[in-house]
Amino acid sequence: SANVGVKVYITSSGTNSYPSLRFTNDAREWRIYGSDGSQSDSFVIYDGTGAATRFKIDTSGDSYTNDGTVHSLSDSRLKKEVYALNDGLSIIEKLRPVEFQYNGSTSMTPDDGSVHYGFLADEVQEVAPQYVKEVSENIGGVLVDDIKTMSTTMMIPMLIKSIQELSERVKTLES
């Protein structure tokens, strides 16, 4: 079957000249364009009045909320087979936090000299594969199907478990 691109344009009408949101399914990406057709510097969601920014993704890929909060559905009524997390200090001790710069291999990893902090997903996969996913991504025009991704936010429960384990050790030593 042929790959057919579909573009969706969402624009505001009236006297205000807001940017348009364009989606092309063959590129699998959203792009923001200003009223003059140039690509915008950020994707912004405003409150109902358009006066206050509530969420923003800038050209560096950083995202912002008005108070730093990003929620995940967490109500117990939405979950089943809930078990205590075993991941904790034994994994944390094996992780290697790093400082790095991107090398420009993809459009999301610009070689702009910016310093980032995190982990190498390849190393995390060796000790905690449950926190790593593999996705497809174009690198230098070649589709690679094993690019490793991870969410450090998903690791927060493991960090809490590690703190609890350390707290128990301190209590034992103090008694």
The pLDDT of residue 13 is 42
CA-wise closest residue to 21 among 38, 6, 8 = 8
Give 64's strand partners. 56
The pair of structure tokens assigned to 159 is: 């960090």
What does the pLDDT read at residue 44?
A: 66
Q: Residue 50: what pLDDT? A: 62
Note the pLDDT of residue 112: 87
pLDDT at residue 43, rounded to an integer = 64
Q: Which of 77, 42, 72, 78 is nearest to 156 (CA)?
A: 72
pTM for the complete prediction? Answer: 0.68
Write the pLDDT tens digit of every residue in 49-59. Answer: 666 667 777 76
pLDDT the model gives residue 68: 73
In order along its 175 residues, the chain shows pLDDT tens digits of 444 444 444 444 444 455 555 555 555 555 555 555 555 556 666 666 666 667 777 766 677 776 777 778 889 999 999 999 999 999 999 999 999 999 988 777 888 898 999 999 999 999 999 999 998 888 878 888 999 999 898 999 999 999 999 999 999 999 9
Nearest in space to 42 (alpha carbons), one of 54, 32, 52, 50: 32
